[in-house]
Structure 1
Amino acid sequence: MRVLLIEDNEDLAKLIGSQLEAGGYGVDRVDSVADAIAVLDSRNYTAMILDLGLPDGDGLKVLRHVRSQQLPLPVLILSARGAMDERVKGLEQGADDYLAKPFAFEELKARLAALLRRPGALLGAQLTVSNLVFDTHGRQASVEERPLALSARETQLLELLMRRADKIVPKSSVEDQLFGLDDEFGSNAVEVYIHRLRKRLQDGKAAVTINTVRGVGYVLTAVA
């Protein structure tokens, strides 16, 4: 799942990004209010980590934009403003959680995971479709306890489709989750990964299928 990190401290952003990527997340990073709003208006994310002290304004402006657009996006504020009134203000304006700096990376990852397990977040700890199981903590897919050998992007793609099993996942959403802001990819890149994943699932005897809804997206369903 892809997370938008809004943090203007480059060293801290790199550390947070590397920690989250090691945990299986994709991470895009911007460092200003303007860039954050522009990216949010053009791409889909699973969650957002938001610093408040940004060079061109208060990060709460980004939060207000997200909530005014009614985006179903979990938001974790990560800020040096640790006073009680600041935390209350952030939560009242729509943040789902608030973590003051300095912080422990393990707590950040745990809080993010907890947000994504909440009802409506589509992010259970274990996903099951027919005989196919995906462990979101271990980042491992298996069929009847036999592990499937998947690349990192194949794993991300499978997780995305399983979280929305029986529902169409638009191609644009797949692109947003698989590829970061700085990634270059061809017009048929998603189709290539869909083809590879289908082959992995077939070889692994998974009782699921990935159907293409032409011009719209993809849907993973159990095989009757």
Structure 2
Amino acid sequence: MKILLVEDELDFADSLIYALEKERFVTDHVTDIRLAREAVVTGRYDIILLDRTLPDGDGLSFIPELRANNLDVPVIVLSALGELTERIEGLDEGADDYLAKPFAFEEMLARVRAVRRRPASTQVPEIRVGKLVFDVLNEEAAVDGIRLVLTRREVRVLSSLIKRHGRVLLREILEQAVYGFNDEVQPNTLDSHVSRVRRKLIEAAAGVEIHAIRGVGYILRAEI
């Protein structure tokens, strides 16, 4: 899962990023509405964590912008403005959840998981290709009931490829899914991650194959 964190308190943001990345989430961090606006244009996110008191305005003003552009990404407001009327205001503006500061990181993570589960009834809970089964909600992969041991980035590679199995996934879209703003990505880094995923699938006899389309991207499909 990839998260956009919109938070201008840098120490607090660093703590959130640490907690999120321990849970294997890829996190991009911006400090104001303008940068958040640019981020959603260039990136794809599963959840947005949004502060209200930002340098360029109330973070709630960003939610109608998202909806006006048909971006239905879930938004959780994280704010020191935690009075009942303020929480109601946030939900009325379209936030999916509202968490008042200070809060325990464990509660934040639980709310992220809860919001992530909400659209589960409208999406496929698992994807099967060959003998590979991918749990979409928990982002776990298994072959013949045995879970594959994957790193955080390997999970993002496999998640992105299997959701588009049988179709070519552009390299730049895969990079956006796997890496955050602050990741130092060398020219062959993505290829290395894809190669490791490919090797683990072969070792597990998953019955799928990943092909590189030179100059374009990658495709995952069942073995012929």
Kindly indicate whether the alpha-carbon contact (under 8 Å) linking 2:25 and 2:152 is maintained by their aligned counterparts in 1: no
Kindly indicate whether the alpha-carbon contact (under 8 Å) linking 1:117 and 1:123 is maintained by their aligned counterparts in 2: no
Matched residue SS, 1:118: helix
1:97 alignment counterpart: 97
Matched residue SS, 1:35: helix
Identity %: 38
1:114 alignment counterpart: 114
Bigger helix share: 2
2:162 alignment counterpart: 162
Matched residue SS, 1:86: helix
Alignment of 1:128-147 (within 5 A): 128-134=128-134, 140-147=140-147
1:62 alignment counterpart: 62
2:19 alignment counterpart: 19
Change (3 A) 1:121 1:63: farther
Matched residue SS, 2:183: coil
TM-score (norm 2): 0.84
1:73 alignment counterpart: 73
Instruction: After superposition, give the CA deviation of every residue in 1:7-39 in whole Å (9 maximum; x if it has no partner).
Output: 112222111111111111011111112221122
Matched residue SS, 1:29: strand
2:195 alignment counterpart: 195
Q: How many residues align?
A: 224
1:221 alignment counterpart: 221
Question: Which AA in structure 2 matches 1:172?
Answer: E
Give the Å deviation of 1:62: 2.1
Give the Å deviation of 1:137: 7.9
Q: Which runs of 5+ in 2 are unaligned?
A: none
Matched residue SS, 2:78: strand
Distance 1:145 1:49 in 2: 34
Change (3 A) 1:74 1:192: same
Question: Which AA in structure 2 matches 1:85?
Answer: T
Q: Which runs of 5+ in 1 are unaligned?
A: none
Matched residue SS, 2:141: strand
Question: Which AA in structure 1 matches 2:180?
Answer: G
Distance 2:72 2:87 in 1: 21
TM-score (norm 1): 0.84
